[in-house]
Amino acid sequence: MAQARQPDAAAAARGPRKPRRPQAGLAFIAPFAALFALVFIVPILYAAYLSFFQDRLVGGTTFVGLDNYAKLVRDPQFWDGVARVARFTLVQVPIMLVLSMALALALDSMRLHGTKFLRVTIFLPYAVPAIVSTLMWGFLLGVKYGLFGSLNKALGTDFDPFSPGTTLISIGVMVTWAFTGFNMLIFYAALKAVPRELYEAAAIDGANELQVVRAIKLPALRGSLVVTVIFSIIGTFQMFNEPQILPSMVANSGVTTFYTPNLYAYNLAFTGSQQGYAAALALVMAAITIAVAYAVQIRGLRNASSGR
């Protein structure tokens, strides 16, 4: 017995064992962490640094503290761009997500022929670069050499999809065409994860297709709907390519240098030589986007967990 107790006494004298540090895990995430810090954290810190300075004709770069942020709060052009992308988001995102959801439900219904071909075809516009997509739609909807130009000549009309009053609608068509397939795949993947036993139970109970959609499929899409809404909000708040390219293709599109916050920041930094003010604008817009996305996430997850 005394010999049996000796190892226990020695172990107690050494104290409790320290858990091994996950060195292997740290080694695996180190490349990603270094790249993430280089391309994400460092630019944010540098932008925050620039936002405290202002370039002046006399005196060069001058430290101004929070003056750029105070000026931004009173800048009507910035808030005009924010209001425009907010209106765009409130209209375009629901239309796009409803269309994506309808396509996912149609593909999951097993009533369509060539499902794989349709799935790839619907997703294909997402693979087209945004610049190429804007150029394509610019030629398609242009009144000088596009489809609507030919229709106006044939019908004797003068409708211009890129007039100041309809340019934002045309941009909405471009964005919807490009991202509907991406969101459709997210919904389709969520539907494929539904256990088949639920469908079998619904068939035994005599539920028709509409009842299955309402009772099983739509509730299964709540979580993916939150994800797609957040992605869509972030994407629309960062809208840049379409308003940047369209003025070079259309004479009177109504697109100004402050049409969207991102376009305004670009013009301030590279045309107006106001890098500090542009950095402050970018940081404030990022904070607004994060706040809106976070609020949508919290509300969406709460509704999803409560089953509403």
CATH code of the domain containing 239 = 1.10.3720.10
The verdict on residue 228 lying in a domain is: yes
Please state, as a whole number, how many other Cβ atoms lie within 10 Å of the Cβ of residue 242: 25
Retrieve residue 78's tokens: 């910035």
Which pLDDT does position 160 carry in this prediction? 86
Say which residue, 235 or 207, is predicted with more confidence: 235
Ranges 67-81, 204-218, 268-282, 292-306: which has the least confidence: 292-306
Compute the average pLDDT of residues 22-38: 85
**258 pLDDT higher than 70:** yes
pLDDT at 1: 46
Residue 205 lies in a domain: yes
Q: Report yes or no on 19 lying in a domain.
A: no
Q: Is the pLDDT confidence value at 259 over 90?
A: yes
Over residues 256-277, the mean pLDDT reads 90
Domain of 99, in residue numbers: 75-306
Handedness of CA 267, 269, 274, 277 (dihedral sign): positive
Proportion of the chain above pLDDT 70, given as a percent? 89
Give the pLDDT band of residue 126 (cuts 50, 70, 90): very high
CB 276 within 8 A of CB 198: no
Q: For residue 141, what pLDDT band results from cuts at 50, 70 and 90?
A: confident
Give the pLDDT confidence of 211-254 residue by residue, as tens digits. Answer: 888 888 989 898 899 999 999 999 999 999 999 998 888 878 88
Residues 11-22: tens digit of each pLDDT = 555 555 555 566
Number of domains in the chain: 1
Q: Which of 234, 226, 233, 215 is nearest to 187 (CA)?
A: 226
Tell me, what's the pLDDT at 2? 47
* Residue 231: HSE in the Cβ half-sphere, 13 Å Cα cutoff: 15
- For the chain, percent of residues with pLDDT exceeding 90: 44
**Degrees to nearest 5, angle at CA 21 with 18 and 25:** 160
Mean pLDDT of 60-75: 89
Q: Is residue 37 part of a domain?
A: no
Residue 297 confidence (pLDDT) above 70: yes
Q: Are 245 and 174 in contact (CB under 8 A)?
A: no
